[in-house]
Amino acid sequence: MEDFDYGIIGGGPAGYTAGMMLAGQGKTVILFEKDKLGGTCLNKGCIPTKSFLHISGVYAQMKEASKLGIIADNLTLDFAKTVEKKNQTVERIRKSLELAVKNSGVKTVYSEACVKDKNTIIADGAEYKVGNIILATGSKPREVKGLEFDGDFILSSDDILNLTELPKTVLIIGSGAIGTEWARILSDFGTEVTVVEMAEHLVPAADTEVSKRVERIFKQKKIQFFLKDSVEKIENRTVTLASGKVLTPEKILVAVGRTPVCPECESKVVLGDACGEIQLAHYAIHQAKAEALGIPFDKNLVPSVIYGEPELAWVGLREQDTDETYRKNILPITALGKAWCDDCTDGFIKIITKQGQIYGAHIVSKEASSLIHILLVAVQNHISINELKKLCFAHPTYAEGIFDILLSL
């Protein structure tokens, strides 16, 4: 029987990060993964979705290319090659990850594992003694009563990645990150998309001003949506909403979040999606670093990003969470020369301040996923607005929009 300092169950971002960090400190680590390294993020979430977003975005741009003087006649989409490209991207990243884990000294066992006791893990009929157990067992798509997944008509976010041809129409239940990104992907590919959201606005976790801008963008893209609504019943593939609206989609994507997968275990540390907190890969990675290296991070300042064109990103306080002592300032992206050069003028940069400090930031823009980190650094380190004004931002960039807002304060 082999002995290890740490036994980690789950090879997603939390599991492999913790394993490599601990091994780097001279600890002996064994990592159990029942499927493929990379977890949901690499295999069924972030990476394949962003690959599709890139391709669908290019396709949408090419359809409008004549406005830029680029004539692309007889433009067609070979979805099979799109799927092949997505798979190649995932496979390339996974092979790189597998090599990195191996080179770090972590032993990987590809088998379903269970905890026998606080110091014993069983996998594939063998027992492994470990000094410590870390559970990073991830999550699975959340089901809704009456909308149980069948892999054919009612799809999960896992199922939709397995499509071999595009549906003509799709109904998406939920408008969080998964629902919004897939609405963008499918719409850009030419599918007729309808979104149903129970909340008052799309992307309910975002600042209300961001949500309203998404609604405007969806209208421009002819993505139909119903707010404060839900599915009442489904009969013979006909969907009736609580509002009485009747829909006949070719497919339904249920995108209402994910459920933690976390087996009971004594003396355990639970990281990533399994802990039931913020289900984001970067949150899982930083949890792992905090556990393995003792590097703390502020759980209240974890940035959120929704990809597509334009990107959405936010961190810190939302306007609806503040009172009259806070101030908001907004700069429309149309004020930036770079936005006009890129033909990406829909959006804004918004910051929430109080007594010379930034408490929240909300961006709808190309490159928002990168821009948000400038403001995250300022919020987390309590850098005053006056200090930020001393920075020299390059021109033309989207980042200089942050400086323009600061100058107005």
Residue 360's SS3 state is strand
Quote the crossing angle between the two packed helices 177-189 and 46-63, to the nearest 10°.
40
Average pLDDT of the chain to the nearest whole number: 96
**pTM reported for the whole predicted model:** 0.95
Residue 265 has pLDDT above 90, yes or no: no
Q: Tens digit of pLDDT for each residue in 125-175?
A: 999 999 999 999 999 999 999 999 999 999 999 999 999 999 999 999 999
Model pLDDT, residue 1: 66
Residue 373 has pLDDT above 70, yes or no: yes
User: What average pLDDT does the segment 117-122 reach?
Assistant: 92
User: What average pLDDT does the segment 191-200 reach?
Assistant: 98
* CATH code, 3-140+258-293: 3.50.50.60
Q: Tens digit of pLDDT for each residue in 290-346?
A: 999 999 999 999 999 999 999 999 999 999 999 999 999 999 999 999 999 999 999
| Pairing state between β 246-247 and 154-155 | unpaired
Model pLDDT, residue 266: 66
Q: Does domain 143-254 have CATH number 3.50.50.60?
A: yes
Give one DSSP letter per residue of 268-285, joined into a string. Answer: EEE-GGGGSS---HHHHH
190 Cα distance to chain centroid: 23
Model pLDDT, residue 60: 94
Tokens of 130: 């470990």
pLDDT band at 219 (very low <50, low <70, confident <90, very high): very high
| Pairing state between β 126-135 and 268-270 | parallel
Examine domains 3-140+258-293 and 143-254 and report if their fold is the same: yes
Residue 132's SS3 state is strand
Q: Match domain 310-407 to its CATH number in 3.40.190.10, 3.40.1190.20, 3.40.50.11540, 3.30.390.30.
A: 3.30.390.30
Segments making up each domain of the chain, as ranges: 3-140+258-293, 143-254, 310-407
Model pLDDT, residue 169: 98
Model pLDDT, residue 262: 84
Q: Tens digit of pLDDT for each residue in 389-401?
A: 999 999 999 999 9
Quote the crossing angle between the two packed helices 400-407 and 368-380, to the nearest 10°.
50
Q: Tens digit of pLDDT for each residue in 348-358?
A: 999 999 999 99
